[in-house]
Amino acid sequence: MTTNQGDVPAIEFKDVVKRFGDNTVLDNLNFSVPQGQRVTLIGPSGSGKTTILRLLMTLEELSGGLMLIDGEPYTHEYKGEKWVAVSEKRRRVVRKRVGMVFQQFNLFPNMTVLENIIEAPVHVLEKSKDEAVSRAEELLEQVGMTEKRDFKTNQLSGGQQQRVAIARALAMDPEILLLDEVTSALDPEIVADVLEVLREIARTTDITMLLVTHEMQFAREVSNRVLMFDQGRIIEEADPETMFTNPTHERTKEFLKAVLGG
C-alpha cells in the first residue's frame, strides 16, 4: 500500500459535478481529506453525501470535474483542454486503496464469515489463502467475531453482519476507508457495539476515513473535521467542537437542532 507523504491530500474533489438526469446532486464540489484524517459529512438526506462515497467507489460516474487519490487522477483527467477517462487498469490500481462499509452490509449470504473476508484479498490482491486467512483471523478478533468465523452470514444478527463487513473492508488493507451510515440499518441496542469497533480502528490505525453518519456524538468523538452539506454543496466546515457547539450557518443550526433536539 503506497502512501504519498507531505501535503498531498488522500482524497481531493475538484469542481465535481454529479447529475442524475436533470437533477444536479453535486454542484461544483471542492473539498479534500488530508492523509490520515477522519472527516465526517453531515446534512439532510438527499444532500449528496452518499453520492460522494459512491463516486469514490466508482459505483457512479462523474458528470464533470476531477477526483484525485494521493494526487493521482482517479477516474478522469485533463489532457490539454480535453477531459478524458483514465485507463481501466490505472483506475483499478488506485481503486485498491479505497475500502467501503455499506449501510446494508453487502455480504455474500452463501459464504461463511471467513470466506467473505478472504474473497477479495485472494482474488483481487492475489494474496495466498494462508496469508488471507491469517489476516482474517486477526480482524475477526479485532471486531469480536472470532467464534462466528464458520457461520454463514445469514445466520448472524445485523450488528454481527456489520462487524464482519468492517473486517472485510479492512482485509484489503485500504489506505482510505469510506463509511456510509453503517449503523442506520441496525437495532438501537447494537449500534453502540459497532461504533465501538470503529472508534478502536480510529484510535489504533492511521487509515484516512470519510464518514457519512447521523450519529452526531460518534462524529464528534472520532472526526478531525466535519463538513455540513446542503443541496450538493458544503455550506460550513469546522472542527467537531466548533461545529456541534457553535455553528455559524443558519441551515447548520437548524439541522443540528432537528437531529440533536433542543
Domain housing 149:
99-173
pLDDT digits (tens, 9 = 90+) for 148-184: 999 999 999 988 999 999 999 999 999 999 999 888 8
Residue 22 lies in a domain: no
Strand partners, 101: 179
pLDDT digits (tens, 9 = 90+) for 196-237: 888 898 888 899 999 999 889 899 989 999 999 998 899 999
Q: How far apart are CA 13 and CA 67, in angstroms?
A: 5
Residue 136 lies in a domain: yes
Place of cell 454542484: 27
Residue 113 lies in a domain: yes
pLDDT digits (tens, 9 = 90+) for 51-79: 999 999 989 999 999 999 999 888 888 78
pLDDT band at 92 (very low <50, low <70, confident <90, very high): confident
Greater confidence (177 vs 185) lies with 177
Residue 243 lies in a domain: no
Q: Which of 221, 97, 112 is nearest to 169 (CA)?
A: 97
List, as own/partner pairs, every contact residues 101-104 make where C-beta atoms lie below 8 angstroms and the sequence separation is at least 24, other chains included.
Answer: 101/162, 101/165, 101/166, 101/169, 101/177, 101/178, 101/179, 101/180, 101/182, 102/165, 102/180, 102/182, 103/180, 103/181, 103/182, 103/184, 103/185, 104/185
- Res 5 pLDDT > 70: no
Per-residue CA distances from 129 to 121, 134, 173 (Å): 8, 8, 15
The packing angle between helices 113-123 and 158-170, to 10°, is 20
Q: Please count the structural domains in the chain.
A: 1
The three cell numbers locating residue 98 = 479505497
Say if CB 113 and CB 149 are below 8 A apart.
yes
Say if CB 253 and CB 43 are below 8 A apart.
no
Residue 133 lies in a domain: yes
pLDDT digits (tens, 9 = 90+) for 93-133: 888 899 999 888 889 998 999 999 999 999 999 999 999 99
Residue 202 lies in a domain: no
Strand partners, 179: 101, 211
Per-residue pLDDT, 93: 87
Per-residue pLDDT, 1: 39
Per-residue pLDDT, 30: 95
Q: How far apart are CA 164 and CA 161, in angstroms?
A: 5
Q: How far apart are CA 65 and CA 29, in angstroms?
A: 8
pTM above 0.85, yes or no: yes
Say if CB 230 and CB 44 are below 8 A apart.
yes
- Res 3 pLDDT > 70: no
Q: What is the mean pLDDT of residues 253-257?
A: 94
Residue 39 lies in a domain: no
Residue 130 lies in a domain: yes
- Res 4 pLDDT > 80: no
